[in-house]
């Protein structure tokens, strides 16, 4: 029987910032599908813990490789260590983030550099460094954000870095095309991560939670697994004709007319009002 184009069994995956948050969710998603996973992160303790968890829970090969993505030498070392550990990389996920969510008047040069270095610069240099390890049919997935095109509460440099990630995605897709390597991005919206679930569902968050549900057309909330599932699709042969694209995974949050949303928020409990005209 022909293998499903969605199958990823046996693929070798490298995820940056894979020790926690969405990165860890992506690692778990690929491990659940039978992939071997390199968890790369600046945090050794969390990274080793994550790799152990993947081995124990999903019975797959997994290793932690230390990397500080702000340092070019560390990025080069990561590519060399990945080659030593797995021989090849079928799927690279540039997921890491590091800067702080500073408002307009509190942005600093250090935070600017950190955001641009970990998200845009590392995305380019690591992708270029890993490319020689990627056989035909491989895939690079960059984690962007809806803030690459919409304005939100993150730092100015975060918005700029994510816009850079989207354009890098198209640039790399063209450059890697002749090697039969596809490059795509995922732009998540509002994601409630596992460590925040308890607070999100607490009584104190009733109003915040109601707004979060209201802001999404179906009322659905996004989790790490939603980003992981999108990554699995983009990495699979089912997406063989998809490259250079930014897939928005936001439950419809950013497709709505803001006036209609704000108008509906005038009543309590928060409900969607029917839109006129």
Ligand X SMILES: NC(=O)c1ccc[n+]([C@@H]2O[C@H](COP(=O)([O-])OP(=O)(O)OC[C@H]3O[C@@H](n4cnc5c(N)ncnc54)[C@H](O)[C@@H]3O)[C@@H](O)[C@H]2O)c1
Confirm or reject binding of residue 78 to ligand X (CB under 6 A). no
Nearer to ligand X, 36 or 118 (CB): 118
Nearer to ligand X, 10 or 219 (CB): 219
DSSP string, 84-129: HHHS--SEEEE---------GGG--HHHHHHHIIIIIIHHHHHHHH
Q: How many CB atoms lie within 10 A of CB 108?
A: 13
What span, in angstroms and rounded, lies between the C-alpha atoms of 199 and 193? 11
Confirm or reject binding of residue 12 to ligand X (CB under 6 A). no
Q: How many CB atoms lie within 10 A of CB 186?
A: 26
| Residue (of 82, 15, 77) closest to 46 by Cα position | 15
Q: How far is the CB of 43 from ligand X (least distance, A)?
A: 4
Nearer to ligand X, 19 or 212 (CB): 19
Nearer to ligand X, 33 or 69 (CB): 69
Output Rg (C-alpha) for the chain, integer angstroms.
19
Confirm or reject binding of residue 21 to ligand X (CB under 6 A). yes
Q: How far is the CB of 67 from ligand X (least distance, A)?
A: 5
Site for ligand X (CB under 6 A): which residue of 19, 27, 33, 172? 19
Binding to ligand X, residues 188-207 (CB under 6 A):
188, 191, 193
Residues 6+ apart with CB under 8 A from 77: 67
Interface positions with ligand X (CB under 6 A) = 17, 19-23, 41-43, 46, 67-70, 95-98, 118, 143, 145, 188, 191, 193
């Amino acid at each position: 029987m022909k293998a499903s184009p969605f199958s990823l069994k046996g693929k070798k995956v490298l995820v940056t910032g894979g020790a926690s948050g969405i990165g860890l969710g992506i690692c778990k998603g690929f491990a659940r599908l039978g992939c071997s996973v390199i968890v790369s992160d600046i945090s050794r303790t969390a990274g080793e813990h994550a790799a152990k968890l993947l081995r124990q829970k999903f019975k797959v090969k997994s290793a932690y490789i230390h990397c500080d993505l702000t340092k070019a030498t560390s990025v080069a070392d990561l590519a060399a260590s990945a080659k030593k550990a797995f021989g090849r990389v079928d799927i690279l996920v540039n997921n890491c983030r590091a800067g702080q969510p500073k408002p307009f008047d509190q942005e600093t040069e250090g935070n600017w550099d950190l955001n641009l270095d970990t998200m845009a610069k590392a995305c380019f240099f690591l992708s270029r460094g890993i490319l020689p390890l990627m056989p035909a049919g491989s895939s690079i997935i960059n984690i962007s954000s809806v803030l690459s095109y919409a304005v939100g509460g993150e730092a100015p440099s975060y918005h700029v870095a994510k816009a850079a990630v989207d354009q890098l995605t198209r640039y790399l897709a063209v450059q890697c095309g002749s090697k039969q390597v596809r490059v795509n991005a995922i732009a998540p919206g509002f994601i409630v991560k596992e460590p925040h679930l308890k607070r999100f569902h607490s009584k104190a968050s009733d109003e915040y939670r109601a707004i979060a549900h209201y802001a999404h057309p179906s009322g659905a909330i996004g989790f790490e697994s939603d980003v992981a599932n999108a990554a699995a699709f983009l990495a699979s042969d089912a997406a063989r004709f998809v490259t250079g694209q930014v897939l928005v995974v936001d439950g419809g949050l950013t497709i709505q007319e803001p006036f209609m949303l704000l108008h509906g928020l005038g009543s309590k409990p928060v409900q969607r009002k029917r839109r006129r005209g």
